[in-house]
Amino acid sequence: MAFNIALMVAAFAAIFITVNPISKVPFFIVLTDGYTRAQKKRAIVNAIKVSTAVLILFALLGRFLFDLFNVEFLALKFVGAAVLIKIGYDMLMGQISKFKSTDEERQHAIDEGAVGVVPLGIPMISGPGAMITAMIYMGESSGFLEWGFIIFSILITLAFTYLLLAESHVIYEKMGKLGITATMRIMGILIASIGVQMMLNNVIQFAGMLGQT
Protein backbone atom coordinates (compact mmCIF):
# COMPACT_ATOMS: atom_id res chain seq x y z
CA MET A 1 0.00 0.00 0.00
CA ALA A 2 1.20 3.51 -0.87
CA PHE A 3 1.79 5.96 1.94
CA ASN A 4 -1.23 8.31 2.00
CA ILE A 5 0.44 11.65 2.71
CA ALA A 6 -2.80 13.65 2.73
CA LEU A 7 -4.41 11.29 5.24
CA MET A 8 -1.36 11.32 7.49
CA VAL A 9 -1.12 15.12 7.47
CA ALA A 10 -4.81 15.29 8.36
CA ALA A 11 -4.27 12.69 11.10
CA PHE A 12 -1.37 14.59 12.67
CA ALA A 13 -3.27 17.89 12.53
CA ALA A 14 -6.40 16.34 14.04
CA ILE A 15 -4.50 14.61 16.87
CA PHE A 16 -2.48 17.74 17.66
CA ILE A 17 -5.51 20.02 17.63
CA THR A 18 -7.74 17.71 19.70
CA VAL A 19 -5.03 17.36 22.34
CA ASN A 20 -4.53 21.14 22.00
CA PRO A 21 -1.35 21.53 24.12
CA ILE A 22 -1.44 25.33 24.36
CA SER A 23 -4.89 25.33 26.01
CA LYS A 24 -3.54 23.20 28.86
CA VAL A 25 -1.10 25.89 30.02
CA PRO A 26 -3.53 28.08 32.03
CA PHE A 27 -5.27 25.01 33.50
CA PHE A 28 -1.95 23.53 34.58
CA ILE A 29 -1.02 26.79 36.29
CA VAL A 30 -4.32 26.82 38.18
CA LEU A 31 -4.24 23.11 39.05
CA THR A 32 -0.68 23.25 40.37
CA ASP A 33 -0.94 26.54 42.25
CA GLY A 34 1.12 26.12 45.42
CA TYR A 35 3.10 23.15 44.10
CA THR A 36 6.87 23.03 44.39
CA ARG A 37 8.95 22.73 41.22
CA ALA A 38 9.46 19.01 41.90
CA GLN A 39 5.73 18.43 42.44
CA LYS A 40 4.90 20.21 39.18
CA LYS A 41 7.42 18.09 37.29
CA ARG A 42 5.96 14.94 38.85
CA ALA A 43 2.45 15.99 37.82
CA ILE A 44 3.59 16.64 34.23
CA VAL A 45 5.39 13.29 33.97
CA ASN A 46 2.35 11.44 35.35
CA ALA A 47 0.05 13.26 32.93
CA ILE A 48 2.19 12.45 29.90
CA LYS A 49 2.61 8.81 30.94
CA VAL A 50 -1.11 8.18 31.36
CA SER A 51 -1.99 10.16 28.21
CA THR A 52 0.52 8.19 26.15
CA ALA A 53 -0.85 4.88 27.41
CA VAL A 54 -4.48 5.87 26.87
CA LEU A 55 -4.09 7.32 23.37
CA ILE A 56 -1.89 4.51 22.05
CA LEU A 57 -4.16 1.83 23.54
CA PHE A 58 -7.23 3.45 21.99
CA ALA A 59 -5.44 3.85 18.66
CA LEU A 60 -4.39 0.18 18.60
CA LEU A 61 -7.27 -1.57 20.35
CA GLY A 62 -10.19 0.85 20.28
CA ARG A 63 -11.73 -0.52 17.11
CA PHE A 64 -11.59 -4.08 18.44
CA LEU A 65 -13.45 -2.90 21.53
CA PHE A 66 -16.23 -1.46 19.39
CA ASP A 67 -16.30 -4.62 17.27
CA LEU A 68 -16.99 -6.60 20.44
CA PHE A 69 -20.17 -4.57 20.88
CA ASN A 70 -21.01 -4.91 17.18
CA VAL A 71 -20.66 -1.17 16.51
CA GLU A 72 -20.02 -0.31 12.86
CA PHE A 73 -16.88 1.73 12.17
CA LEU A 74 -18.94 4.26 10.18
CA ALA A 75 -21.11 4.83 13.25
CA LEU A 76 -17.96 5.53 15.26
CA LYS A 77 -16.83 7.99 12.60
CA PHE A 78 -20.15 9.85 12.87
CA VAL A 79 -19.70 10.05 16.66
CA GLY A 80 -16.11 11.20 16.21
CA ALA A 81 -17.16 13.94 13.80
CA ALA A 82 -19.87 15.12 16.20
CA VAL A 83 -17.41 15.18 19.10
CA LEU A 84 -14.89 17.21 17.09
CA ILE A 85 -17.55 19.71 16.07
CA LYS A 86 -18.69 20.06 19.70
CA ILE A 87 -15.12 20.48 20.99
CA GLY A 88 -14.37 23.02 18.27
CA TYR A 89 -17.52 24.97 19.07
CA ASP A 90 -16.76 24.97 22.81
CA MET A 91 -13.21 26.17 22.16
CA LEU A 92 -14.48 28.87 19.80
CA MET A 93 -16.93 30.08 22.44
CA GLY A 94 -14.31 29.84 25.19
CA GLN A 95 -16.30 27.19 27.06
CA ILE A 96 -13.79 24.90 28.77
CA SER A 97 -14.72 22.93 31.85
CA LYS A 98 -12.94 23.81 35.08
CA PHE A 99 -11.54 21.52 37.72
CA LYS A 100 -12.75 22.18 41.25
CA SER A 101 -11.79 20.40 44.43
CA THR A 102 -11.93 20.78 48.18
CA ASP A 103 -8.81 21.80 50.12
CA GLU A 104 -8.49 18.22 51.41
CA GLU A 105 -8.76 16.74 47.91
CA ARG A 106 -6.26 19.27 46.60
CA GLN A 107 -3.70 18.43 49.30
CA HIS A 108 -4.16 14.71 48.62
CA ALA A 109 -3.62 15.39 44.92
CA ILE A 110 -0.38 17.19 45.70
CA ASP A 111 0.84 14.41 47.99
CA GLU A 112 0.02 11.61 45.58
CA GLY A 113 0.76 13.37 42.29
CA ALA A 114 -2.83 12.55 41.32
CA VAL A 115 -3.46 15.82 39.49
CA GLY A 116 -1.15 14.55 36.76
CA VAL A 117 -3.44 11.57 36.21
CA VAL A 118 -6.86 13.19 36.79
CA PRO A 119 -7.86 15.69 35.52
CA LEU A 120 -4.70 16.73 33.65
CA GLY A 121 -3.90 13.38 31.99
CA ILE A 122 -7.54 12.30 31.72
CA PRO A 123 -9.60 14.02 30.40
CA MET A 124 -7.72 17.28 29.72
CA ILE A 125 -4.91 15.87 27.56
CA SER A 126 -6.25 12.47 26.50
CA GLY A 127 -9.91 13.38 26.31
CA PRO A 128 -12.71 11.72 24.30
CA GLY A 129 -11.96 13.81 21.22
CA ALA A 130 -8.30 12.80 21.11
CA MET A 131 -9.13 9.13 21.83
CA ILE A 132 -11.71 8.88 19.06
CA THR A 133 -9.56 10.84 16.61
CA ALA A 134 -6.58 8.51 17.13
CA MET A 135 -8.88 5.49 16.81
CA ILE A 136 -10.54 6.68 13.61
CA TYR A 137 -7.35 7.61 11.78
CA MET A 138 -5.69 4.38 12.84
CA GLY A 139 -8.70 2.52 11.42
CA GLU A 140 -8.44 4.38 8.11
CA SER A 141 -4.69 3.77 7.83
CA SER A 142 -3.20 0.73 6.14
CA GLY A 143 0.20 -0.85 6.55
CA PHE A 144 2.84 -0.59 9.24
CA LEU A 145 4.23 2.68 7.90
CA GLU A 146 0.94 4.57 8.28
CA TRP A 147 0.15 2.90 11.62
CA GLY A 148 3.60 3.87 12.83
CA PHE A 149 3.03 7.45 11.72
CA ILE A 150 -0.17 7.66 13.80
CA ILE A 151 1.75 6.48 16.88
CA PHE A 152 4.54 8.93 16.01
CA SER A 153 1.97 11.75 15.77
CA ILE A 154 0.70 10.92 19.25
CA LEU A 155 4.21 10.83 20.71
CA ILE A 156 5.28 14.10 19.06
CA THR A 157 2.10 15.85 20.23
CA LEU A 158 2.60 14.66 23.81
CA ALA A 159 6.29 15.58 23.75
CA PHE A 160 5.31 19.09 22.70
CA THR A 161 2.68 19.13 25.46
CA TYR A 162 5.35 18.18 28.00
CA LEU A 163 7.60 21.05 26.86
CA LEU A 164 4.76 23.57 27.04
CA LEU A 165 3.71 22.48 30.53
CA ALA A 166 7.29 22.46 31.76
CA GLU A 167 7.60 26.11 30.64
CA SER A 168 3.99 27.02 31.41
CA HIS A 169 4.69 30.09 33.56
CA VAL A 170 7.06 31.56 30.99
CA ILE A 171 4.55 30.97 28.19
CA TYR A 172 1.69 32.43 30.20
CA GLU A 173 3.73 35.53 31.01
CA LYS A 174 4.69 36.01 27.34
CA MET A 175 1.31 35.33 25.74
CA GLY A 176 -1.00 36.43 28.52
CA LYS A 177 -4.59 35.35 28.95
CA LEU A 178 -5.65 37.17 25.77
CA GLY A 179 -3.01 35.45 23.63
CA ILE A 180 -3.88 31.99 24.90
CA THR A 181 -7.60 32.65 24.46
CA ALA A 182 -7.06 33.83 20.89
CA THR A 183 -4.95 30.76 20.08
CA MET A 184 -7.56 28.47 21.61
CA ARG A 185 -10.32 30.00 19.49
CA ILE A 186 -8.30 29.73 16.29
CA MET A 187 -7.75 26.05 17.07
CA GLY A 188 -11.47 25.78 17.75
CA ILE A 189 -12.20 26.92 14.20
CA LEU A 190 -9.71 24.37 12.81
CA ILE A 191 -11.02 21.45 14.82
CA ALA A 192 -14.66 22.28 14.05
CA SER A 193 -13.75 22.41 10.35
CA ILE A 194 -12.09 19.00 10.56
CA GLY A 195 -15.22 17.65 12.26
CA VAL A 196 -17.53 19.11 9.60
CA GLN A 197 -15.36 17.70 6.79
CA MET A 198 -15.35 14.31 8.49
CA MET A 199 -19.13 14.45 8.85
CA LEU A 200 -19.56 15.30 5.15
CA ASN A 201 -17.27 12.41 4.18
CA ASN A 202 -19.31 10.09 6.39
CA VAL A 203 -22.58 11.22 4.79
CA ILE A 204 -21.13 10.60 1.31
CA GLN A 205 -19.91 7.15 2.38
CA PHE A 206 -23.27 6.31 3.93
CA ALA A 207 -25.12 7.49 0.79
CA GLY A 208 -22.86 5.25 -1.27
CA MET A 209 -23.68 2.28 0.95
CA LEU A 210 -27.41 2.95 0.52
CA GLY A 211 -26.98 3.15 -3.24
CA GLN A 212 -25.44 -0.33 -3.27
CA THR A 213 -28.37 -1.92 -1.43
84-139 pLDDT, tens per residue?
788 788 878 876 544 444 455 445 545 545 667 877 888 789 987 899 899 999 98
Would you call 40 exposed, middle or buried from its count of C-beta atoms within 10 A (0-12, 13-18, 19+)? buried
Domains and CATH numbers, the chain: 5-212 (1.20.1250)
Number of CB atoms found within 10 A of residue 144's CB: 9
pTM of the model: 0.74
40-90 pLDDT, tens per residue?
999 999 999 999 999 999 999 987 877 787 777 788 788 878 887 887 888
